[in-house]
Structure 1
């Protein structure tokens, strides 16, 4: 029978590139859409502070649009509600968020984000900007996905294939936004390289059909991501932690893969490690699902094994259903799979655990599970509130 003492591996300190966190729990990045005019409000600051006060050591923000005109749009939900990391008002808003999280005893990284093919033309802070991706395609429309037909029809319309000038502009924008984040007082940088957004579309062969140095085999497809990381590392210096989120699955295709074998995945991870990544955030729908045949190791364990860097596991922690299943059925019950996560962490499979929907529903989730209390269930309607 499990006891709260079995969860102690989750509550040990963790040091990432000189930054020591009091425990191994992080809040996973989750788009909320509660930033009117793309500016985080005092309510947003209070939302993050409550999670810090509830015992979550590291808060990774919702996706934040970088300083590039096509970084965000309606594809993220409400284009007006998605925060950005440029402009005086947004910077002032983020300073308040950082101050509140620090006052609550936590640490916070912004998740730098470019939507790529998930930005609809004519939307976002700069409606006149062209939507871009490596090859001008959203991806296949006949795969397993939760996207309905009207959605796919809108997003699968061809858009601009990036020129090398576009690529340079976006890389520079990541660097500028990282520098702003450091000036604001963020404790590290998180990079969104998953879920079918811009960086991920370079990694995925289905959306990267380029024949130049940014397309082809895994080494070439990893070049853009590595150059983004390198620009961020140059902007923030050697001692600020950088976390990179990657995934096999895409919103366009739940069964997608960017790497068919561990060796192929290692090529990407090592390129990003050489560029300056300190920790890999392995995004999965289920944190404990084996990543490759003939091995029980989940993706986060492979990330650590192949790169030699720390890794973060995420996917269904504390809940009975994955994200998309829970949205379709209206919620998810409490699932005490965090005991399994603690056991895997104690074995050295991964170093950190990212909690998503469970923390939306219950900001005191860490304190409750550590003391043997029952956390709140997740309800789909919780997504419409900022509490």
Structure 2
């Protein structure tokens, strides 16, 4: 068989272990962790899905090696806890039985202990430890580790590695990046010690060398050790890529793979986890530089999901392995698709941070476009229907396409009707925003999937009760979506007012000074786009904050982009009147202000197409209303409701 992506499909031997391809699953936090730190059944399913999808290595994250000095709510492994070793053994078995190498990340948060605690006030009672005495930006004091504590932590890394091997893991990863403890010792910013662990680089790498040497002694020769490091810290006072190369060179003799990430928790979440405002593969240059200075295989990571890009990274010698995190939540089957020459079928991650926001808020996992994530053991697999039915799906947006594809995959005969000339619904608007191109491509991916599954698609076909009766469906899933709200205020004759659809779908032109009314997620993104096009932009919001409907991970990143763009933000301002020269708003104190502009863009929200829904409520024995047609929300809600509706038919 001739491979479309020969470099990605090539095996690689590290130590005594052979990886079946060059695509690995990055460590992503577990889903259900018991109070004692054991992995629950959902965690097993969470990691097993990536193994089923064909990843060469599936790394479990994060195993806290020394709970005495690291109070984070993550996995722990100790013989003192009954059943804990067994739980990890079941987890390793679940990964191995699908041909993947099970690995586990050995971690210590250092001065960031408590980062993953849902009760953020709880970390106030923790003692934060690091290389040096310090005070965190949030005011928590950090206490320098003593020599005795350092020795104890080094021994704990070794013990955790030995137990992981005993449980059946075939590889370990030592986390030395992202501002965690090992990285804190490596960093001139965090490490202010004046003993043998601080000062010049040869001292700052001492702790890492001791940890790696202890782990090697614990697991023996031939057992692969992967070092995860930040190629550069990418903030003032941290080490740069040149020093990152020297660190890698100083440690390569103790490891089998160097996994090069970027940044630090404190200074750049969107750098370490590239947001939609950054290029795919924006951190690959760090791996490329480090690879020039070491002889062990180098892995790279950072917003990667396109097989063509990943193949080029390996073919051009920038790295030896590619690692995916969020991409394998959106589409766990990327490696299998690549191996089968089906790269065009990959469903790309949106980089919307729903997965990481859910982790921060509820300690579970959720993916906006993959309803199975974190719920793999809940009977949510697509299984053939006992009796195939005629299914009508009304609306060809993301909800409609999800419902149609899922129903067709179950063996139902599906007709999908869309009133427009193209599938995609609201996703079609995203083609206008360069930083949301992946969302537009999602619509195209789902349209191809519907075609491949034999869904009968009828474009330019609005559905009413008469047409539904004519089709005679046994089940109908109504996904007619929503429509923009109109401005609830008077508009002067001659004022130029545009909707988001006018702007994004119809290509309407604005003047040089734009007022965007509505500072939610859609309005904030619109203002950012207008600014990128060189317009002077004012963003008006009646609440006291922007993008309050954005998730907790994406929102601060978006707000930083708005601030960087220099957009004039007017909060606590309620629109009173649209004039030809701008918008008159009423401020919180009752005063009025004219926000000047030659074009007004309305982004105040959506409303369900309730009339269309009401007309179809009796169109079949089984009727389910999903997505924005039920209640305007987001892609995640639409996909989940549509998926479950199709499973229920």
Asked if TM exceeds 0.5, the reply is: yes
Contact 2:108–2:181 (CA under 8 A) maintained in structure 1: yes
Question: What is the aligned partner in structure 2 of residue 381 from structure 1?
Answer: 354
CA RMSD of the aligned region, Å? 2.6
The reply on whether 1:13 has 2:11 as its aligned counterpart is yes
Name the structure where strand makes up a greater proportion of residues: 2
Question: What is the aligned partner in structure 2 of residue 316 from structure 1?
Answer: 303
The reply on whether 1:221 has 2:208 as its aligned counterpart is no
Q: Which 5+ residue runs of structure 1 have no aligned equivalent? A: 74-78, 142-152, 291-296, 319-335
Instruction: Give the deviation of 1:89 after TM superposition.
Output: 3.1
SS state at 1:307 partner: coil
Larger radius of gyration: 2
SS state at 1:212 partner: coil
Question: What is the aligned partner in structure 2 of residue 269 from structure 1?
Answer: 248
Whole-Å Cα distance in 1 between the matches of residues 354 and 282 of structure 2?
Answer: 27
| TM-score, normalised with respect to structure 2 | 0.48
Q: 1:374 to 1:260 in 2, by over 3 A?
A: closer
Identify the match of residue 172 of structure 1 among 121, 141, 155. 155
Q: Which 5+ residue runs of structure 2 have no aligned equivalent? A: 263-270, 275-279, 359-364, 367-373, 376-649
Cα distance per residue 1:3-47 (max 9 Å; x no partner): x95422111101111210110011011224521222101221122
Mapping 1:119-134, distance limit 5 Å? 119-120=113-114, 130-134=127-131
The reply on whether 1:195 has 2:178 as its aligned counterpart is yes
Question: What is the aligned partner in structure 2 of residue 45 from structure 1?
Answer: 44
Identify the match of residue 313 of structure 2 among 344, 348, 351. 344
Question: What is the aligned partner in structure 2 of residue 76 from structure 1?
Answer: none
Whole-Å Cα distance in 2 between the matches of residues 69 and 30 of structure 1?
Answer: 23
Contact 2:258–2:299 (CA under 8 A) maintained in structure 1: yes
Once structures 1 and 2 are overlaid, which stretch shifts more, 83-92 or 110-119? Answer: 83-92
Whole-Å Cα distance in 2 between the matches of residues 197 and 138 of structure 1?
Answer: 16
The reply on whether 1:85 has 2:74 as its aligned counterpart is no
Contact 1:200–1:246 (CA under 8 A) maintained in structure 2: yes
Whole-Å Cα distance in 1 between the matches of residues 83 and 250 of structure 2?
Answer: 36
SS state at 1:298 partner: helix
Contact 1:117–1:137 (CA under 8 A) maintained in structure 2: no
Instruction: Give the deviation of 1:104 after TM superposition.
Output: 1.8
Instruction: Give the deviation of 1:68 after TM superposition.
Output: 4.0
Instruction: Give the deviation of 1:361 after TM superposition.
Output: 2.2
Instruction: Give the deviation of 1:346 after TM superposition.
Output: 1.4
| TM-score, normalised with respect to structure 1 | 0.79
The reply on whether 1:368 has 2:337 as its aligned counterpart is yes
Question: What is the aligned partner in structure 1 of residue 23 from structure 2?
Answer: 25
Question: What is the aligned partner in structure 2 of residue 150 from structure 1?
Answer: none
Instruction: Give the deviation of 1:137 after TM superposition.
Output: 2.9
Contact 1:91–1:184 (CA under 8 A) maintained in structure 2: yes
Q: 1:248 to 1:309 in 2, by over 3 A?
A: closer
Contact 1:248–1:256 (CA under 8 A) maintained in structure 2: no
Instruction: Give the deviation of 1:229 after TM superposition.
Output: 0.3
Cα distance per residue 1:110-136 (max 9 Å; x no partner): 000001011149x89999873310003
Whole-Å Cα distance in 2 between the matches of residues 50 and 127 of structure 1?
Answer: 36
Cα distance per residue 1:319-349 (max 9 Å; x no partner): xxxxxxxxxxxxxxxxx3x412211211222
Count of residue correspondences: 333
Q: 1:227 to 1:365 in 2, by over 3 A?
A: same
